[in-house]
Amino acid sequence: MLLEVKNLTKSFGGLVAVNDLEFSVDEGEVVGLIGPNGSGKTTSFHLINGFLQPDRGEIFFADKNITGLKPNKVCHKGIARTFQLTKPFAGLTALQNVMVGRMYGGDPIRSMRHAERECEEILVFVGLGGKGSSPTSALSVVERKRLEIARALATKPKMLLLDEMMSGLTHTEMDEALGLVKAIRDSGVTLIVVEHVMKAILEISDRLIVLNYGQKIAEGVPQEVVRNQKVIDAYLGE
């Protein structure tokens, strides 16, 4: 077991965004986290990577309690994430953005030359070969999503949290993105994926966890979960 979440709870005023959430993720899995808007998916990511602090509960990663650690410390433990709204470092090139992750991530490297070489390879891996010298403002939406992934991968994570990387993509772009997710999995990185595009989440996930109003309402292999009446009523519809 790589990640274990126990009784995780987070409230904002009177709103309980995540309510007594429990789940685990094994090394090498791709776990899909789905549910309607406002169900607590992104808040769960915020709690796991330290962007938010839980009101109650614990998070264990690689048998270490990481509850309450700041995002940079969580990153150093081996968890990286992307954001639904891409957040590149303005004023830097694509390559420089990725180098920030390599030089300050979970396995920091201090040699600029070595970092540059490794990050160029990462850009090729995510489909941005030849874009290293481009300013981020010159990248398309799809390219910025791929850059977000590249920067996260540069931190050398054991686990990657992907937040809605398929939104706004064409069918061709989605197929390419699915291929990238599978390649990341095959490279040995465990993934938790938040996604609304059901075709995508069903294709890449070994297991689905479904949230509604901050609570887990279903968990299991995708084919079983999508037939669960609670999931149909809360999220999928007939």
Q: What is the pLDDT along the chain (238 residues), one digit of tens a residue?
A: 999 999 999 999 989 999 999 999 999 999 999 999 999 999 999 999 999 999 999 999 999 999 999 999 999 999 999 988 888 988 899 999 999 999 988 788 878 899 999 999 999 999 999 999 999 999 998 999 999 999 999 999 999 999 998 888 899 999 999 999 999 999 999 999 999 889 899 999 999 999 999 999 999 999 999 999 999 998 877 5
The two structure tokens encoding residue 223: 């084919």
Alpha carbons 60 and 6: distance in angstroms, whole number: 8
Is residue 82 within 8 Å of residue 162, measured between CB atoms?
A: yes
Task: Tell me the torsion sign for CA atoms 117, 181, 32, 22.
Answer: negative
| Alpha carbon separation from 41 to 17, 46, 55, 163 (Å, rounded) | 9, 9, 16, 9
Q: Which amino acid is at 221?
A: V
Confidence (pLDDT) at 110: 79
Closest to 217 in 3D by CA, of 85, 54, 21? 21
Confidence (pLDDT) at 19: 96
Report pTM. Answer: 0.93
Alpha carbons 105 and 53: distance in angstroms, whole number: 21
Mark out the alpha helices in 38-170 (DSSP H runs). 41-48, 71-77, 94-104, 112-125, 141-153
Packing angle between helix 141-153 and helix 171-186, nearest 10 degrees? 10
Closest to 73 in 3D by CA, of 64, 82, 63? 64
Strand order in the sheet with 3-12: 15-25, 3-12, 56-61, 64-65
The two structure tokens encoding residue 219: 């968990």
Confidence (pLDDT) at 106: 79
Confidence (pLDDT) at 238: 54
Q: 36 CB contacts (<8 Å, ≥6 apart)?
A: 212, 234, 235
Domains in the chain (CATH in brackets) are: 1-78+160-238 (3.40.50.300), 87-156 (no CATH)
Mark out the alpha helices in the chain (DSSP H runs). 41-48, 71-77, 94-104, 112-125, 141-153, 171-186, 198-204, 222-225, 229-231
